[in-house]
Structure 1
Amino acid sequence: MTKRELPKHVYRQRNGLYFQRRGWKSQKFLAEFGTPEFWTEYASILSGERPVSKITARSFKALIKSYHRSSRYTQLKPRTALDYDKYLRFFEDVMGDANPVNMKRKDVIRLRDSNADKPYFANYSLRVLRVLLEHCVDLGWREMNPARGVSEIKTVKKARSPWPQELLDQYRIACPLGTRERLAMELCVGTGQRIGDVIEMRWSDIQDGGFAVRQNKTGKQLWIPILPELQAALDAASRHSVFILTNERGTNRWSYRGVAQAVKKVRDQINALDFDIHSWRYNAACELVEAGCGDDLVAAVTGQSAAMVQHYTKQVRQRVRAIQAQQMRTEQKQNV
């Protein structure tokens, strides 16, 4: 559906339809667009009184509907809400009519273990179920949360590493200046920001030779000078939208899924599947350490805490310090 089809003050966001009007509180619609319930909800918002539908039956479907109206959900970051919705739909599909009051700890464990072959899905669904059942407790439907304390499936987590320089060079060859894939990489490496913040960047964010960034996850405000490699990519980019990274038509920002799929094709082409988009953030932090920057200078660019700077740069930091140590060792032998 296009904006022209939507009623006044109604806008489509990534996780649903919202009523947005200057001076009014933004509200997410609960009903599906075009249904009688939607128009009733729309009319009630305009009249200044939003109805709260009564839950007539205790089911996961009703619990999820109630959770969507709660502050636990409405205060989530848009990206997090989008992730949660995927798992909430899964719960509704597999146990929508079941009564959450009857769910026991063994049922939670069984649900987790049924997806053991997909540990990320199993663990994330457990986290969302824990939040959902906590809302069930808040409603007074049950006394305790059976998902609380249930452990996640243990996985061997492979440490993420920055892209090797030779792979970055191959990526630049495969994606010349002027391509969206090249611009995405230069933005991530050049600013050290998460891809979620990069796809939100606008041309108007470029101020005084740098990017003015407000991080979605932390809320931190940063100003990051533009490197020559990034400036070359920006100069070669088309400007058909307020966003720097745009969709194929150049009318709106490039979606997270779109960027990930496009970059994965290049990674597959140059045999770089062990290194993903987030690894570019590691490249930025590691390049700063290799340049001799301390933790405070690295954090000034990436916006990370001191602990996260240490985590992202531990491999290159060990290498830099080992080189320094061996040089000192050699000099000592020569002096002796």
Structure 2
Amino acid sequence: MPRQRNRAAVKLPKGVHRVVSRGREYFYFQPGRGTDHAGPRIALPNDPHSPEFWNAIRQAQGLAGAVPVDTFGAVLDGYLEFIKTSGTITAGTIDQYERALRIARKAWGSLPAKGLRPVHVQAVMDGLAETPGKANNFLSAMRALSTWARVRDHVEHSLTEGVKPYAKDSGHKPWTPAQIEAALSKLTGVIRRGVVLYMWTGMRGSDAVRLGWTDIDEGGFSYRAQKTGREVYCPIVPELEAEMSTWAKRPGPFLLQEGGRADGQRYTRKLFSKHFAEARDKIPELAGVTLHGLRCTAVIRLRRAGLSTAQIGDIVGMSLPMIERYCRFADRKTSGKAALLTLKRTSEEQNCKTSQNRKT
């Protein structure tokens, strides 16, 4: 039977040590352990996922003095440590939450956590009104923190109840045929290859930068989506197969950096997006397009090919509501064209009487 991973085995700061004795875990702080200059041994709380544990470390280090464990900053420390060690949240999401929650730490770090209310969150949202995207990211992070803190009795009420996000704009727009043509004809190298991969698979950037020859299984890509953990099977369409026939078969992902000291190194989603943006800005026809817009483009293409929402979800690893959202404009446009054809057909049938028909 495989040994279960111990939940408490987290990455500990320098000077913090874990000891297992008689089946129980103990933690203590002792800088320089095992040397002639070892400091005093200070016992720590036994739950490294609690705010008390990390405040005790700060006190032992002498960095912050006696920090009350009920401050919002202490609760925030506990939450961030939880999401970093839970193994259920991707690095990209953790990074997004950390950046968003810096706003919260600056606003309420030294205040009692149990004194916070939705009105305080709303006040921050109002202050971010000119940057609705940033505001919505902040609210999303606060909702997750509030849920975690509430069930652990770090706060007495939901911190976000009744707080509404700002209305989204049209979001990432699908690429037009002209934009796709310009990209294929003017982009070169790995950037063009990435656009082709995004366009014909509809996968997320975090998956596209990991995809390689070894992910091919019976005419399609078989992989586990990094963001959701969902198993995805994406068929390789003939257009993509033709492009891939010109790609060198080698170990590793399809998208590797080109030139300079990083030549041959793997891409991260963020770095590939940066390099794409640099290449895009040199092509006037591509002004305003985004890589994520190609995900929308792929979804619309699959819908127009007659696939159901569930089938599209299996191919691109996307939730059904999000697929419906991406297809809303395309579906309305298709329905409108069909209605126009019906109206024209009806009009032609009403006006097709000949003189012989009238006599009859």
TM-score range, shorter chain: 0.7 to 0.9
Q: Does 1:122 align with 2:101?
A: no
Work out the percentage of aligned pairs sharing the same amino acid.
20
Residue 72 of structure 2: aligned partner: 60
SS in 1 for 2:223: strand
The alpha carbon displacement at 1:104 in A equals 4.0
Task: Evaluate the alpha carbon distance shift between residue 332 and residue 204 of structure 1 in structure 2; reply closer, same or farther with a 3 A threshold.
Answer: same
Please tell me whether the aligned partners of residues 192 and 302 of structure 1 are also in contact (alpha carbons under 8 angstroms): yes
Amino acid at match of 1:226: I
Please tell me whether the aligned partners of residues 243 and 252 of structure 1 are also in contact (alpha carbons under 8 angstroms): no
Amino acid at match of 1:162: P
Q: Does 1:205 align with 2:218?
A: no
Report the Cα distance in structure 2 between the residues aligned to 1:196 and 1:44, rounded to whole angstroms: 38
Residue 246 of structure 1: aligned partner: 256
Residue 231 of structure 2: aligned partner: 221
Q: Does 1:289 align with 2:265?
A: no
Q: 1:264 aligns with which of 277, 280, 283?
A: 277
Q: 1:36 aligns with which of 15, 29, 43?
A: 15
Report the Cα distance in structure 1 between the residues aligned to 2:142 and 2:347, rounded to whole angstroms: 62
Q: 1:168 aligns with which of 146, 166, 180?
A: 180
SS in 1 for 2:340: helix
Residue 49 of structure 1: aligned partner: 25
The alpha carbon displacement at 1:331 in A equals 3.6
Task: Evaluate the alpha carbon distance shift between residue 140 and residue 299 of structure 1 in structure 2; reply closer, same or farther with a 3 A threshold.
Answer: closer
The alpha carbon displacement at 1:36 in A equals 1.6
SS in 2 for 1:278: helix
Please tell me whether the aligned partners of residues 209 and 269 of structure 2 are also in contact (alpha carbons under 8 angstroms): yes
Task: Evaluate the alpha carbon distance shift between residue 222 and residue 98 of structure 1 in structure 2; reply closer, same or farther with a 3 A threshold.
Answer: same
Aligned length: 306
The TM-score normalised by the length of structure 1 is 0.76
Please tell me whether the aligned partners of residues 253 and 266 of structure 2 are also in contact (alpha carbons under 8 angstroms): yes
The alpha carbon displacement at 1:281 in A equals 1.4
C-alpha distance after superposition, 1:81-139 (max 9, x if no partner): 23212233443455433332333444323333333322222222123223324444334
The alpha carbon displacement at 1:72 in A equals 9.8
1:38-117 superposed matches below 5 A: 40-41=17-18, 49=25, 51=27, 52=47, 54=53, 55=55, 57-58=68-69, 59-70=71-82, 74-78=86-90, 79-117=92-130
Amino acid at match of 2:25: E
Report the Cα distance in structure 1 between the residues aligned to 2:201 and 2:113, rounded to whole angstroms: 46
Q: Does 1:309 align with 2:323?
A: yes
Task: Evaluate the alpha carbon distance shift between residue 66 and residue 183 of structure 1 in structure 2; reply closer, same or farther with a 3 A threshold.
Answer: same
Q: 2:195 aligns with which of 181, 185, 196?
A: 185
Q: 2:5 aligns with which of 12, 25, 29?
A: 25
Please tell me whether the aligned partners of residues 243 and 253 of structure 1 are also in contact (alpha carbons under 8 angstroms): yes
Please tell me whether the aligned partners of residues 108 and 146 of structure 1 are also in contact (alpha carbons under 8 angstroms): yes
SS in 1 for 2:281: helix
What do you get for the CA RMSD once the two structures are aligned?
3.3
Please tell me whether the aligned partners of residues 182 and 233 of structure 1 are also in contact (alpha carbons under 8 angstroms): no
C-alpha distance after superposition, 1:257-289 (max 9, x if no partner): 112112222332223343211111121122233
Q: Which deviates more from structure 2 when the two are superposed, residues 277-286 or residues 322-331?
A: 322-331
Amino acid at match of 2:163: V
Q: 2:333 aligns with which of 319, 325, 335?
A: 319
The runs of 5 or more residues in structure 1 that have no matched partner are 1-21
Report the Cα distance in structure 2 between the residues aligned to 1:137 and 1:307, rounded to whole angstroms: 28
SS in 1 for 2:145: helix
The alpha carbon displacement at 1:171 in A equals 0.8
Residue 274 of structure 1: aligned partner: 288
Report the Cα distance in structure 1 between the residues aligned to 2:313 and 2:185, rounded to whole angstroms: 30
Please tell me whether the aligned partners of residues 80 and 98 of structure 2 are also in contact (alpha carbons under 8 angstroms): no
The alpha carbon displacement at 1:151 in A equals 2.8
Please tell me whether the aligned partners of residues 223 and 231 of structure 2 are also in contact (alpha carbons under 8 angstroms): yes
The alpha carbon displacement at 1:187 in A equals 1.2
Q: 2:344 aligns with which of 319, 330, 333?
A: 330
Amino acid at match of 1:49: E
Please tell me whether the aligned partners of residues 234 and 315 of structure 2 are also in contact (alpha carbons under 8 angstroms): yes
Report the Cα distance in structure 2 between the residues aligned to 1:200 and 1:48, rounded to whole angstroms: 40
Q: Who wins on radius of gyration, i.e. which is larger?
A: 2
